[in-house]
Chains A and B, each alone.
Chain A
Amino acid sequence: MTTTAYAARADTRSDAPLLSVRDLQVTFQRRGEEPFHAVDGVSFDVRPGQTVGLVGESGCGKSVTSLAIMGLLPRRGNRISGTVDFDGTDLLSLSDGQMRDRRGKDIAMVFQDPLSSLNPVVPVGIQVTEVLERHRGMNRKAAMPMAADLLKRVGIPDPDRRIKDYPHQMSGGMRQRALIAIALACAPRLLIADEPTTALDVTIQAQILALLKELVEDTGTALIMITHDLGVVAGLCDEVNVLYGGKIVERGPRHPIFRTPRHPYTNGLLGSIPRLDAAGERLTPIPGSVADNLPWDHACAFAPRCSQPIAVCTQTTPELETTGDRALRCHNPVEDPR
């Protein structure tokens, strides 16, 4: 995307957010175990037509956030608080039935593993038409040509034949395209893509990302992109939220975040990407794993893995502080990014 295209799109965007997540908290409470805060006070906005990235490694709470927005977390064993305001309605206050009416229609989701996310014993066509039948009140006969159209739109060749295929008869890329067709069937206003390219070959990854980008631009659908892959973020997102240990640690528009990461974690993530233009330079991985986290209550969870911790990091919780269009949760921000 060129800068002018980006600017042009930014102009058409209204300022009122489509989705406004405030202080979202998801606590897993299993009997006989310490409660675990998978998502710990996350707030962010998504404006109509905007693409927002939720970035972080496994276990940082990005998928749980998306499932909480969709109302797909099981009631049992989970405590969810905060508000998820979608176009003026708090989704968390809706009943199961009201939420069912919105899922697949206003908010849709694309999942990580396209093979396991499609029902193996139902033809792909029916898996597309069932959404149309449910939300558009169409019968199957009327929905079939529309389903073929949708498959065509996501770039599946020979859709009239493919519509009768079962998932195992399709390639990985095609399955992900089918899942995207299912998600877009009812022209949702918000699409959540949870690592949509992780299970795919690299060449296919690029195709799927290009497809998502194109569809989002064509339809004006807002997109939440959940990923651990900063390459995906660089190609797609308007705004980036970096999550660590269930909290947002850094937020900002794409270019500034990549140019001048302030949080050591963001900086570390960028440092662990191999770069072609810096041959000979060593990769610097982030040491340790999320298992080393400190509790957020009276410390920075990232401190044990941080490249530049100071004494206060293990004594007080850093707050998310906003300056301009960026936000940061760090006691000792990076001054000289690599």
Chain B
Amino acid sequence: MLRYIVRRLVQLLGVVIILSMLLFFWLRSLPGGPVNAMLGERATPEQVARFEQVLGLDQPLHIQYVRYMGRILQGEFGTSTAVLPGADAMDIFLARFPATIELTSTAVIIALLVAIPLGYFAARRHGSWLDNLSIVGSLIGIAVPVFFTAFLLKYWFAIELGWLPVSGRQDNLGCTRITKFFILDGLLTREWDCSVSALKHLILPSIALATIPFAVIFRITRASVLDVLDEDYVRTARAKGLTARIIRGRHVLRNAMLPVLTIIGLQVGSLLAGAILTESVFNFPGIGEALVTSFRGRDWGVLQILVLMAAVVFVLVNLLVDILYAVVDPRVRTR
């Protein structure tokens, strides 16, 4: 198992190097650049040239890349030119990342809590109105773009009804920061109002974002439970006279969850994509929102770090899923 994890981490390194190269050359092949973005259209050619020299942008691309990688190895990830001019790109990522983790993990938890029981009962009552209704619901979840859901939720519950905050991550309460996970910080410092405020800000964006994984997890759970219900070992469990609770938990769901686990790993990518849209709608200061700002401002330094780190997170979460899979399924462990 350990060897397997190490091998996967080495693979991760390869992914990062290749992706960094692709990103670097691709971003620089786009028209415009940080200098244009910063100085505007009326800048004189002399100003532009001077700025490019300062930033090292007058050098050939491959030299720029080598220098860039050299700086990264020394722990310098570049300076932001648009998101937060002058700030270190890595600092921006580190400041924004906890917000996105809070958002996406809440969304996944909501999706799991609703989708798994619903998928189970839809399969048990296969062909019933509950089943059909859930399928239609999940289809809507897949079909409606997440920014539209986000906007609708924001309009109804934040603007019209005023039940929940319209934007941001927390009210300005002067909260103490420890981990930068706002809910956790509030619990650690016993500033309960800080946690509550952070939670309130999370509700609408995370529900909007949850629609993506919900639909997929529901579908997979339903199909998987349907398969497992037909398995011989479920019949054996019933022949033993076991209670419905044990048959459901130990014999049906434990087996049916294996495909669901895989799907959750693969959903991380679309969750991050969804986070970009949701964060934009709710002005939620996560990496998604930073990604949009950095792209608009041609802030290549920040953009590169954000995309690279998103890839790292994707690979790590999938590694975690694979480890979990081995924990749940003994057949994988002995392979």
Chain B residues whose CB sits within 8 angstroms of the CB of A105 once the complex forms: 241
Chain A residues whose CB sits within 8 angstroms of the CB of B329 once the complex forms: 120-121
The contact string, 1 if C-beta is below 8 Å from chain A, for chain B 231-255, is 1110111111111001000110011
Chain B residues whose CB sits within 8 angstroms of the CB of A117 once the complex forms: 232-233, 235-236
Q: Is A216 an interface residue (CB 8 A)?
A: no
Q: Is B330 an interface residue (CB 8 A)?
A: yes
Chain A residues 107-157 with CB under 8 Å of chain B are: 108-109, 111-113, 116-123, 130-131, 134-135
Q: State the CA gap A179–B239 with chains docked (Å).
A: 11
Chain A residues whose CB sits within 8 angstroms of the CB of B240 once the complex forms: 103-104, 108, 130-131, 134, 182
The minimal Cβ–Cβ distance linking B225 to chain A, given in whole angstroms, is 15
The contact string, 1 if C-beta is below 8 Å from chain B, for chain A 57-86, is 000000000000010100000000000000
Cβ of B241 and Cβ of A116 under 8 Å apart? no
Q: State the CA gap A102–B328 with chains docked (Å).
A: 31
Q: Is A219 an interface residue (CB 8 A)?
A: no
The minimal Cβ–Cβ distance linking B126 to chain A, given in whole angstroms, is 9
Total residues of chain A contacting the partner, CB 8 A: 31
Given A168-B330, A168-B331, A169-B334, A120 contacting B241 (CB threshold 8 A) = no
Closest to A114 in B: B232
Give the dominant DSSP class at B's interface.
Answer: helix
Q: Which among B232, B239, B329 has the greatest number of chain A C-beta atoms within 10 A?
A: B239
Q: Is A166 an interface residue (CB 8 A)?
A: yes
Total residues of chain B contacting the partner, CB 8 A: 23
Chain A residues whose CB sits within 8 angstroms of the CB of B231 once the complex forms: 116
Chain B residues whose CB sits within 8 angstroms of the CB of A135 once the complex forms: 241
Chain A residues whose CB sits within 8 angstroms of the CB of B331 once the complex forms: 120-121, 166, 168
Q: State the CA gap A118–B231 with chains docked (Å).
A: 10
Cβ of B241 and Cβ of A134 under 8 Å apart? yes
Q: State the CA gap A108–B240 with chains docked (Å).
A: 7
Closest to B242 in A: A134
Cβ of B239 and Cβ of A70 under 8 Å apart? yes
- Residue of A100, A112, A118 near B243 (CB, 8 A) is A100
Q: State the CA gap A307–B138 with chains docked (Å).
A: 59
Chain A residues 308-333 with CB under 8 Å of chain B are: none
Q: State the CA gap A179–B232 with chains docked (Å).
A: 12
Cβ of A72 and Cβ of B241 under 8 Å apart? no
Chain B residues whose CB sits within 8 angstroms of the CB of A72 once the complex forms: 235, 238-239
Cβ of B232 and Cβ of A104 under 8 Å apart? no
Cβ of A118 and Cβ of B241 under 8 Å apart? no
Query: 11 additional contacts, CB 8 Å, given A72-B238, A111-B235, A131-B242?
Result: A70-B239, A104-B239, A108-B239, A111-B239, A113-B232, A119-B254, A122-B250, A130-B246, A166-B330, A168-B334, A182-B240
Q: List 8 A-B contacts (CB under 8 A).
A: A99-B241, A111-B236, A112-B232, A119-B236, A120-B233, A130-B242, A134-B242, A182-B236
